[in-house]
Structure 1
Amino acid sequence: MRRWLGMAETVLANHSDRLNAINIFPVPDGDTGTNLYLTARAAAQAAAAADSQDLGIVVGAAGQAAMEEARGNSGTLFAVFLDAFAVPLAGQSRLSGPLLAESLHRCRIRAWSALSEPVEGTMLSVLAAAADAAASASEAADAGEAPHSNAILIRTIDAVIDAAVGAVVETEGQLPTLHDARVVDAGGVGLLLVLGALRAAVIGEGLGDQIFDRLHGYAVQDPHIHAQQPPAEGVELMCTITLSPLDAAGLRHRLDELGESVIMSPLGPLDEDSGCVRWRVHVHVRDPEAALAEIRNVGEPEKIAFTELHSDHAH
């Protein structure tokens, strides 16, 4: 798991420019690669520091760190992915096909529920395809084959990669914005790279270069597509806040009315004494002060960050 997240950080760093170049959904701000890399870096550092042989503890530490430092839509969803991925691994010292399938299934549920308006043709579609493929492959054991064998793990990972590649290719036809620009979804490619890093960590073989030939707009010589799009308007607001589940649901509703791309995901379990949970909040708004006022109406936000939604901003 530590090797996986270290490889994910490296591969996202190497591909960040091309991911930025095709980032036009949900807004053409050209920062998906940067956001994923910075979030993965926080995760990899936390995993490296986790002194345990329990996979759930290692990946859980990575997920919590990623959530605290998440950048943008893609980074936030990647953090949700890691946080959910860790749960079935609690108490386990090795990964198996069935465990991978269970983790991806939990990731799928958490990621889709974190978004107020989940959209096909994004990272969510790639995750759904990967989860379905893992479930089918891990269940298809031959007679006499142990379900937790290395052979089934390798078969499951290969099925996940094949399904993820196909789902990334399909994103171009699922969103009009991507179809018109003739590119695949940047977040979907980012998740494919993360899954490819997992394959490399487990069996020593990553994604072949031929895979990228199938992804429209992803070649090095292709232009930065987002530069040709209408300029994005508004601000990305992110913060952390401690609320009861009921207050969190109310805040999500109000943010849905004020903006778009609302993501709210819990940071850790419910505190039984207070009845509250820490939440990571993400929203795109035209009036950030109004959104911040709504947040402050229900609690005291921490780690408030504003980022202008245009392609030449610097983090």
Structure 2
Amino acid sequence: MKRWLDQAETAIANHSDRINAINIFPVADGDTGTNLYLTVRAAARALHSYHAGHDPAAPADLAQTDVGAVLAHAGRAAMEQARGNSGTLFAVFLCAAAEPLEGHTRLTSALLAAALNRAQIRAWSALSDPVPGTMLSVMEAAARAAAAVDAGHNGDDSNLALGKTLDAAVEGALGAVVSTEGQLAALEAAHVVDAGGVGMLLILDCLRSAVLGEGLQGELLDGLHGYDVQDPHIHATMPDDDGVEVMCTISLSPLNAATLRQRLDEIGDSVIMSQVGNAAEPDGNYRWRVHVHVPDATPAVALIRSLGHPSELTVSELAIARDPEPAPASSSGHER
């Protein structure tokens, strides 16, 4: 898991510029690559600190051989520091994928299929208004492909069976990325594939590489529309999007969480709410990561503060890329 997230951090860093260049949905703000990179980096660094024994957030009795527990720790860090739609959905994916792996010391074909399925279901449900043709479709396709291949293994828990399931998941994800162009009118008009979907495809190929000890598939992205290095930055020609992105982490009761989601749906869009961890706090509340696009931050922030005490509260203009693009890191495979 540590090697996977390290490779994913490097791969997304290498590709952030091209992912940003084709980022036009749900808003053409050209920051999907940056947001994914920062979120993956948070997960990877959490495991570095955890394995070095420097992370006070990691339970002292957490067995380092428990794949699910290790991945859940990375997922919580990603959720707390998630950026944008894409980063938040990846954090949801990571946290959910960890659940079927809890208590297991190695990954198998059946566990991989279960993890991918749990992750895609949770990601779809985190959004109030999920849209096909995005990274959600890529997650779903990977899970379906993995499940279909695993079903033919009849319980085979060998590494060979795992490798075939990983191959199928990446191949399914690639097919879904290609299909995104025809699923969303904005992508079809611009003749590009979905930016978040490309990022998710890269992350899944990094998982395959890390588990099998094989190199990344350098030709994986060849032919994707809008993804050649000489292609223009599509988002730069799009009109600026009005409004802001509001994100925070907040402790809420189940009732207040439902209330917040409903009222955010009324005043904004791209609403994502997902629990940070599964355990209730001593007062019965749960921690939530909240994301919304709104015309004006003031009503949304006031609403959030009326229900709890938010932390990690950020307000970002949708028309401006919020972070400097990460410097490319050298790696084998996936280089442009």
> TM-score category by the smaller chain?
over 0.9
Structure 1 equivalent of residue 327 of structure 2: none
Secondary structure in 1 aligned to 2:95? helix
Q: How does 1:185-224 map to 2 (within 5 A)?
A: 185-224=194-233
2:189 is the alignment partner of 1:177: no
Which residue identity does 1:95 align to in structure 2?
L
Partner of 1:267: 276
Distance 1:312 1:132, change over 3 A: closer
Structure 1 CA distance, aligned partners of 2:320 and 2:215?
Answer: 30
Structure 1 partner of 2:305 = 296
- Pick closer, same or farther for the CA change 1:206–1:161 going to 2, 3 Å: farther
Asked if the contact 1:53/1:93 (under 8 Å) is kept, the reply is yes
TM-score by length of 1: 0.96
Give distance in 2, aligned partners of 1:206 and 1:129: 23
Match of 2:28 in 1: 28
Question: Secondary structure in 1 aligned to 2:264?
Answer: helix
- 2: CA distance between counterparts of 1:219 and 1:245? 46
Q: Deviations over 1:143-185 (max 9, x none)?
A: xxx5211111000000001100000000000000000000000
Is the 2:249–2:312 Cα contact (8 Å) retained in structure 1? Answer: yes
How far apart are the structure 1 equivalents of 2:211 and 2:295?
44
Q: 2:80: which partner in 1?
A: 68
Q: Partner of 2:147 in structure 1?
A: 135
2:13 counterpart residue number: 13
Is structure 2 residue 249 aligned with structure 1 residue 237? no
Structure with the higher fraction of residues in helix conformation: 1
2:168 is aligned to: 159
Which residue identity does 2:95 align to in structure 1? D
Match of 2:135 in 1: 123
Shift of 1:206: 4.3
Distance 1:293 1:265, change over 3 A: same
Superimposed CA distance per residue, residues 188-228 of structure 1 (whole angstroms, 9 cap, x where no aligned partner): 00000000100110123344333312310001000000011
CA contact (8 A) 2:205 2:217 kept: no
Corresponding residue for 1:4? 4
Measure how far apart 1:311 and its partner are.
3.9
Q: Which runs of 5+ in 2 are unaligned?
A: 52-63, 325-336
Moved more, 262-271 or 249-258: 262-271
Deviation at 1:270, TM superposition (A): 4.0
Q: Is the 8 A contact 2:18 2:229 kept in 1?
A: yes
How far apart, in 2, do the equivalents of 1:210 and 1:7 lie?
17
Q: Identity over aligned residues, as a percent?
A: 61
Question: Is 1:276 the equivalent of 2:285?
Answer: yes
Change (3 A) 1:86 1:313: closer
Could you state the TM-score of these two structures normalised by the residue count of structure 2? 0.90
Matched residue SS, 1:209: coil
Q: 2:316 aligns with which of 303, 307, 314?
A: 307
Post-superposition CA distance 1:238-274 (Å, at most 9, x none): 0011111111011101001111100000011242742
Partner of 2:140: helix, strand, or coil?
helix
How far 1:314 sits from its partner (Å)? 3.4
Equivalences for 1:37-52 in 2 at 5 Å? 37-51=37-51, 52=64
Alignment match, 2:328: none
Aligned with residue 257 of structure 1, among 243, 266, 272 = 266
1:78 aligns with 2:90: yes
Answer 1 or 2: higher relative contact order, Cα 8 Å, separation at least 6.
Answer: 2
Give the match's secondary structure for 1:274. Answer: coil
Aligned-pair CA distance for 1:297: 1.4
